[in-house]
Amino acid sequence: DEPDSMRIHYTVPNDLMAVGNGQFTGKNIGANKTTYNWFVSYPINTYNVTLYIGKFKIIEDEYLGINGECLFITHYVLEENYEKAKIHFKQLHEQLALYEKRFGAYPWYRDGFKLVESPFPGMEHQTAIAYGNGYKNDAGGETDYIILHETAHEWWGNSVTAKDLAHVWLQEGFATYAESLFYEEKD
């Protein structure tokens, strides 16, 4: 069971930002608190619904997809990592291109794509991937493993999902297989 869409509202102190899944639809600023509004326009697994709160700086980007559609990319990073993130996250384009070539169009074009800096290594939250790998290319020296692996989950885990937790190995197995396809293509 997955809801076919979701409206999400997070209220935080004014000096913080709240990032969620899907499309940012605006904010309501109060005297001391701000409510951030998000809309997921596709079905979503409830375990993939997420919330990030922090003092983020935004990096905006675009990717022209396999079907000629423009995918809007918005990354949320801590200010001290802004400059390195602008360079480091460019590798995402090559990964999206390979995954689209192998698995079909990115499944969530309307809702966009986000990497959101977090205090834990990574998690495939639909359209809002947790990123905490320290801006290092730790897979073959040229690729950030967390970006590569968690992005694969947008197809395998978020779009095609196991019905039962006993079958989550399918999600992890196909994401790991996707990594191998990426390196095979690079060679």
User: pLDDT value at position 141?
Assistant: 84
End-to-end Cα distance, the chain: 40
Strand extents, DSSP E, the chain: 6-13, 17-19, 23-29, 33-40, 52-54, 56-64, 70-78, 115-117, 122-123, 129-131
pTM for the whole structure: 0.94
Contacts of 14 (CB under 8 A, 6+ apart): 29, 30, 32, 33, 34
For the residues 98-103, what does the mean pLDDT come to?
96
**CB-based contact 76:55 (threshold 8 Å):** no
pLDDT at position 161 over 80 = no
For residue range 7-64, what is the model confidence (pLDDT) as tens digits? 999 999 999 999 999 999 999 999 999 999 999 999 998 889 999 999 999 999 999 9
Going from the C-alpha of 132 to that of each of 18, 105, 123, the distances in angstroms are 17, 26, 9
For residue range 58-86, what is the model confidence (pLDDT) as tens digits? 999 999 999 999 999 999 999 999 999 99
Per-residue DSSP letter, 19:
E
SS3 106: coil
pLDDT at position 110 over 90 = yes
Going from the C-alpha of 169 to that of each of 100, 138, 145, 162, the distances in angstroms are 22, 23, 18, 8
CA–CA gap between residue 90 and residue 115 (Å, rounded): 11
- Give the range among 27-41, 58-72, 120-134, 163-177 with minimum mean pLDDT: 163-177
CA–CA gap between residue 131 and residue 140 (Å, rounded): 19
Going from the C-alpha of 120 to that of each of 16, 55, 131, 134, 178, the distances in angstroms are 19, 16, 7, 10, 22
